[in-house]
Each structure stands twice: as C-alpha cells, then as structure tokens.
Amino acid sequence: MPKPHPVASAPLAIPPEPKKPTVFGALLGGTLTIVVLAILGLGLFRFTLGLTPPTTALGIDQFAEALRGGEPNSAQADGVIISSFHSTTYPTGSENPVLLIFGEVENHRDVDIENVQIKAQLIDELGTVVATETMPIGLKFTPPEFAGLRDIHKLSEMVAIKSEQADATIAARSSRTWSIALAAPLTEIHKLEHRISLLQKETPQN
C-alpha cells in the first residue's frame, strides 16, 4: 500500500519586535499632554473664578499673572494671606445687579492682626481698571439685602454702615471670611481679571 505523504507543519509565527519610542516621539507626547492639561486647567480656572482666558498678548500676560496670584506679595502681608476668593452677581430692586466678591483670609502668625482690609480691582483685557473697592474683613451680605435695593447708589450707604460695625481683626492662627460688594460694571464680568490684594491700615489714634 502506498504510504501517505508527510504533511509539513506550519512555521511558527514570530511576532514583530515592538518599536522602541524615539526621543522625538516622547517629546511630542509630553508636549501634547502639557497642552491638554493647560487647556483643562484654564477651563477649571474659568469655572471656579469666573474668568475667561483673554486673547490679546497683554491680556494673556495679565491672565498668567492672575494664575500666579496677582502682583507679588499683594495676596499676603506679614503672615496673613488670602487663601481663596470667588465672585458672583445678585439682582437688586433696580436694573443694576451687585457684584459680590468673597473669600477667606488666614493668619499664620502667633499674634492677632488688626484692621485687615481687602482690595478688589476689576481689570479689562487692555489693562484698564474698570472698578476698584476696599473693605474690611468680616463684612457679610445677604441676597434679600441686595433685593431690597431700589437704588444701586444706596449700596454705598449699606457698605458704610456694615464697615463701621465690622470687626476687622483676625486672631492668631485662625481664618476669617471677607466680602466686597460693588455695583456690577457694564462690561461682561467673566471677561475681567479679578485682582485681589490685602492691606493693613493703621489703627486710628484717639
């Protein structure tokens, strides 16, 4: 009887050796990652602080300065720092809304600090200060108070009364809240840089 021809076994498939990443590929991947994180970071910054990344060269410089915390040492003085701030608008009984900027200040020293003031500036993309206000820490405002303002100019009277009654002292190793209320500028708020700085005024002599 004829013998069957032997069947040759199929050759084993050898997987191709994976390509090693080149230096250029690694740099490109790292750059893309940084760009994506930067975009996400700017979006988060806009969401939390109500700011929009500007498009002009000067505006970009100002926005980068805001990310660094504004002017050097403006957010801290003698161990007292502004740890956070946010802003929002509230309707009033008039056509003009109120812009409320609020946050927290911390005292990292072992002594009480008196007469702590917070200064807020709103700056447009051209670097123009469109609004500025300084108020002592400890002020508190409520939406019903704003809703009761039939005349936006009465806001200054409300602030003056609250400022006289406010305790602007922050105890050692503690934190305090602060609020600044001002008539909202006609410019779109989310396009304005919020520059917040900390001041300490001299105690008035009796």
- CA–CA separation, 99 vs 89, rounded Å? 4
Q: What is the pLDDT of residues 123-149, one digit of tens each?
A: 999 999 999 999 999 999 999 999 999
* H helix and E strand count, the chain: 4, 7
- CA–CA separation, 130 vs 121, rounded Å? 8
- CA–CA separation, 103 vs 111, rounded Å? 22
CATH number of 52-200: 2.60.40.10
Buried/exposed 61-93: b ≥16 CB within 10 Å, e otherwise = ebbeebeeebeeebbbbeebbbeebebeebebe
Q: What pLDDT, on a 0 to 100 scale, did the predictor assign at position 174?
A: 97
Query: Could you tell me what percent of the chain has a pLDDT over 90?
Result: 56
Q: What is the pLDDT of residues 68-125, one digit of tens each?
A: 444 433 567 778 999 999 999 999 999 999 999 999 999 999 999 999 999 999 999 9
Confidence (pTM): 0.63
